[in-house]
Amino acid sequence: MSDTKDRSDVAYPGLLFETLTAYRRTAALKGAIDLDLFTTIAAGARTPTAIATACNADERGVRILCDCMVSLGFLEKNADAYALSGTAAEFLDRRSARYMGAMADFLDAPAIRIAFSDVAAAVRRGGTVLEGDGTMEPEHPVWVDFASAMAGRATLTAEPLVALLAPDARRPFRILDVAAGHGLFGIAFLRHHPMAQVVAVDWPAVLDEARNHARTADVADRFQAVAGDIFTVELEGEYDAVLLANFLHHFDAPTCVRLLRRLHRVLSPGGRAVTLDFIPNEDRISPGSVPLFNLTMLATTRRGEAHTFSEYERMFREAGFSGSELCALPPTPQRVVVSHR
């Protein structure tokens, strides 16, 4: 009888190892983006020698990084030649209209990484270990990174959002874009509706990026930038719609209600508040991206969290809105709450 035991029932700590070393995936992809690896390969440099020459890098280093990108699904390999996967061709080739490699500058920004340096401490505190209110400190520089780096991702959601709201292009339509960032959500309305006007509120340095996008889209004459804190800045006139894109998750419910009451007062009769966000199901663990997103809120803000639809319903109702409805926004994983004045 053999002394060898069948160990097939013994758990292997693969998930543990992969999670503890997941930072290597981020670092590898960020390195490939910084080297312009994907654009270089798309332009015709396919072998390690050719890629190294074009990227001004070491050939062995290029080969190792390219093989890593193959294992992660961003490149394909045939003999010693590399080619872009479908994902890389669409989102990581700088010549693509849907290029999103710049997201690394925000998602892997030093302020974000530092916020994750001691998750246990954040859990004990119930909020960020960063100073003050974390990334919600007035004029925090990370939001300038956000405005420039996350513009590409906004193209996935801006057009479906316009279609969802479907304002009458023949009538004036005034929009308040809260914490506008890159400004592309409001700008999408301006591009489709010649009688629309946008008032974008954000910190001064962030609005510089939004103004640039408005000029590029040739809608700057209908795009007004107002610098300041949305909780205190003067909001003149009435608005037909308020855009709350990826904003309310930075705050707890009482803070959200305080802001929503303020916004309710500046909406015209029949006006709508449009909340684009990562909205978890009632179990708070689905869709699958939500738990890690919530951890990001814990690590970077004082009291932020992704709110469920039932929580949004309560908040908007408490703020004076007559009703809310939850809408999908395919093909994105985000959803929209439309709340009526």
What is the total residue count of the chain? 341
Task: Determine what percent of the chain is predicted with pLDDT higher than 70.
Answer: 97
CA distance 217 to 336: 25
> Per-residue pLDDT for 11 more than 80?
no
CA distance 63 to 50: 11
Please report whether residue 5 resides in a domain: no
Same domain, 136 and 165: yes
Q: What pLDDT, in 10s, does the model give residues 125-159?
A: 999 999 999 999 999 999 999 998 998 888 888 98
pLDDT band (50, 70, 90) for residue 21 = very high
Same domain, 74 and 140: no
Same domain, 251 and 299: yes
pLDDT of the residue at 4: 46
* Whether the Cβ atoms of residue 295 and residue 248 lie closer than 8 Å to each other: no
Average the pLDDT over 210-224 and give the result: 96
Same domain, 47 and 146: no
Same domain, 211 and 320: yes
Same domain, 167 and 289: yes
Please report whether residue 8 resides in a domain: no
Q: Which residue has the tokens 């889209």?
A: 217
Lowest mean pLDDT among 3-12, 49-58, 174-183, 257-266: 3-12
Same domain, 166 and 29: no
Calculate the alpha carbon distances from 99 to 75, 95, 165, 211, 309 in Å.
16, 7, 26, 20, 31
Q: What pLDDT, in 10s, does the model give residues 79-123?
A: 999 999 999 999 999 999 899 999 999 999 999 999 999 999 999
pLDDT band (50, 70, 90) for residue 331 = confident
Please report whether residue 185 resides in a domain: yes
> Domains in the chain: how many in total?
2
Please report whether residue 1 resides in a domain: no
**CA angle 274-275-277, nearest 5°?**
150
What domain range includes position 204?
110-340
pLDDT of the residue at 254: 97
Same domain, 53 and 146: no
Same domain, 189 and 320: yes
- Which of 71, 97, 123 terminates a domain? The answer is 97
pLDDT of the residue at 226: 97
pLDDT of the residue at 179: 97
pLDDT of the residue at 288: 86
CA distance 286 to 108: 24
Same domain, 290 and 240: yes
Residue 9 φ/ψ, nearest 5 degrees: -90, 0
- Which of 54, 74, 97 terminates a domain? The answer is 97
Report strand pairing: 335-340 vs 267-277. antiparallel
pLDDT of the residue at 166: 86
Task: Determine what percent of the chain is predicted with pLDDT higher than 90.
Answer: 87
Same domain, 63 and 176: no
Q: What is the pTM of this model?
A: 0.89
* CATH number of the domain enclosing 62: 1.10.10.10
Average the pLDDT over 228-237 and give the result: 93
- Which of 73, 97, 121 terminates a domain? The answer is 97
Q: Which residues contact 183 (CB under 8 A, 6 or more apart)?
A: 147, 177, 198, 200, 207, 209, 210, 211, 213, 214, 223
Please report whether residue 104 resides in a domain: no
